[in-house]
Amino acid sequence: MIGGTTHSEIDFESQIDRAQTGSLKWDKYKGKDIIPFWVADMDLPSPQPVLDALHRRVDHRVFGYTLAPESATEAVTEYLANTHSFEVDPEWIVWTPGLVPALALACRAYGVKGDAVMTLTPVYYPFLTVPGFADQELQSVPLVEDSVNRTWEIDFDEMERKVTNRTRLLIISNPHNPVGKVFSREEVEKLGQFAVKHDLILCSDEIHCDLILNDKAHICAGTLSQEIVDRTIIMMSPSKTYNLAGLACAYLVIPNAKVRHQFQKVVRGIITEVNCMGYTACEAAYRHGEPWRVELIKHLNENLQLIYETVNDKWAGAKIYPMDATYLAWIDMRHLGLKNPASKFEKFGIGLSEGSQFGGEGFVRLNFGCPGSVMDEGLNRMSKALAEF
């Protein structure tokens, strides 16, 4: 339906058939009875105002090379100021057609062959691979499990032990994919101070920052002290929250001119501009998507509640800690003693992400951005699988 939207029109329960759309998530299991709960896009429709804006853009009929529209940049700066208390000069914004290429380019912008990149594991797997693509060393610092408080902590001592004079970049997922943690101001500040102390660039990937499921506050690295901000690049995109991954629209905020120019220098001639549909969707999502986002968070919490009840109460030995953010549940299946538990679940019709891919052997990651009925079916299938293992 094109036109205005009301809350009651937001529909997160209908199942939308994604066959024949080239869906990475669904085509992985084409022709098989496997429900995909892996890659991070949702089986939910984007907000109606975004769909309306895209329709209007299509109706214009011409799709030439597109500069970032001033109105899109303005939507971004207003959103960052109003939602994350981050006052941004439009000049600081560098648009990119996705954050994964930006992560890879950041390694090349701030380091050379033989340098090192530090990150906290388990983590979104491109963080683990991009340093190697640039012939750089990966320095993984595992998050420490706090089984009493049922959370994950940053091991600052281990960071100090691992850092070398070749370390150039510290990449963090803030909030954290896959453990679903929102870092406190104290933690983000300490990470920033670590970057200052060791003369690193702090790369704060904040793609999940509008998917906070409880009352914790996201701490944008751009709101830290000037000495930290001057060495920080903040990576953002509306794509996770508003389900726009296929439109390839993301942006970096790099406040310091020298640091920004270093990045822009390596980007030149390598990656394309964002496409016109991406800008249109981004602007509409930030300007008009909030009522939809509020409903989305409620829906995700319903699915998450079901996951907590099933995993912690019904599956002996499995566990999940309370999550603050993302629609990606990090489920501990280490009790099964299986090397690749996700591959075993596939045989029972469930397509999960393998924890080892993120540096978390024995875990599975379950994407719960789906209708409740699909969540039910997926958890039932997992229960049956566990009974057979």
Q: For residue 211, give the nearest of 143, 297, 85, 335 by alpha carbon.
A: 297
Instruction: Provide, rounded to whole angstroms, the least separation between the CB of residue 5 and ligand PLP.
Output: 25
Give the range of 8-16, 97-105, 152-160, 304-312 binding ligand PLP by CB under 6 A.
Answer: 97-105
Q: Is 323 in the site for ligand PLP (CB under 6 A)?
A: no
Q: Is 100 in the site for ligand PLP (CB under 6 A)?
A: yes
Instruction: Indicate the residue among 106 and 250 with the shorter CB distance to ligand PLP.
Output: 250
Angle between helices 276-288 and 48-60 (to 10 degrees): 150
261 burial level (CB within 10 Å; 0-12, 13-18, 19+): exposed
Q: For residue 126, give the nearest of 40, 21, 8 by alpha carbon.
A: 40
Residue 121: beta bridge partners?
A: 142
- Please select the residue that binds ligand PLP; options are 40, 202, 209, 229, rule is CB under 6 A: 40
Q: For residue 276, give the nearest of 59, 91, 102 by alpha carbon.
A: 59
Q: Is the dihedral of CA 283, 253, 298, 35 positive or negative?
A: positive
Measure the CA dihedral 86/242/98/40, to 10°: 120
Instruction: Provide, rounded to whole angstroms, the least separation between the CB of residue 326 and ligand PLP.
Output: 7
Q: Is 99 in the site for ligand PLP (CB under 6 A)?
A: yes
14 burial level (CB within 10 Å; 0-12, 13-18, 19+): exposed
Instruction: Provide, rounded to whole angstroms, the least separation between the CB of residue 328 and ligand PLP.
Output: 8
- Please select the residue that binds ligand PLP; options are 207, 329, 364, 375, rule is CB under 6 A: 207
Instruction: Indicate the residue among 37 and 348 with the shorter CB distance to ligand PLP.
Output: 37
Q: Is 42 in the site for ligand PLP (CB under 6 A)?
A: no
- Please select the residue that binds ligand PLP; options are 73, 119, 173, 223, rule is CB under 6 A: 173
- Rounded-to-integer distance, Cα 45 and Cα 149, Å: 36
Q: Is 124 in the site for ligand PLP (CB under 6 A)?
A: yes
Instruction: Indicate the residue among 237 and 241 with the shorter CB distance to ligand PLP.
Output: 237
Instruction: Provide, rounded to whole angstroms, the least separation between the CB of residue 207 and ligand PLP.
Output: 4
Measure the CA dihedral 125/126/127/133, to 10°: 130
Q: Is 38 in the site for ligand PLP (CB under 6 A)?
A: no
Q: Which amino acid is at 367?
A: N
Instruction: Provide, rounded to whole angstroms, the least separation between the CB of residue 270 and ligand PLP.
Output: 15
Q: Is 354 in the site for ligand PLP (CB under 6 A)?
A: no
C-alpha distances (whole Å) from 308 to each of 182, 315, 320, 328 are 18, 10, 7, 13
Instruction: Indicate the residue among 77 and 239 with the shorter CB distance to ligand PLP.
Output: 239
Site string for ligand PLP, 237-256 (x = CB under 6 A): x-x-----x----x------
Size of the residue set binding ligand PLP (CB under 6 A): 13
DSSP character string of 237-289: -STTTTT-GGG--EEEE--SHHHHHHHHHHHTTTSPPPPHHHHHHHHHHHHH-
Instruction: Indicate the residue among 45 and 98 with the shorter CB distance to ligand PLP.
Output: 98
- Using CB under 6 A as the criterion, which residues of the chain lie in contact with ligand PLP when the complex forms? 40, 98-100, 124, 173, 177, 205, 207, 237, 239, 245, 250
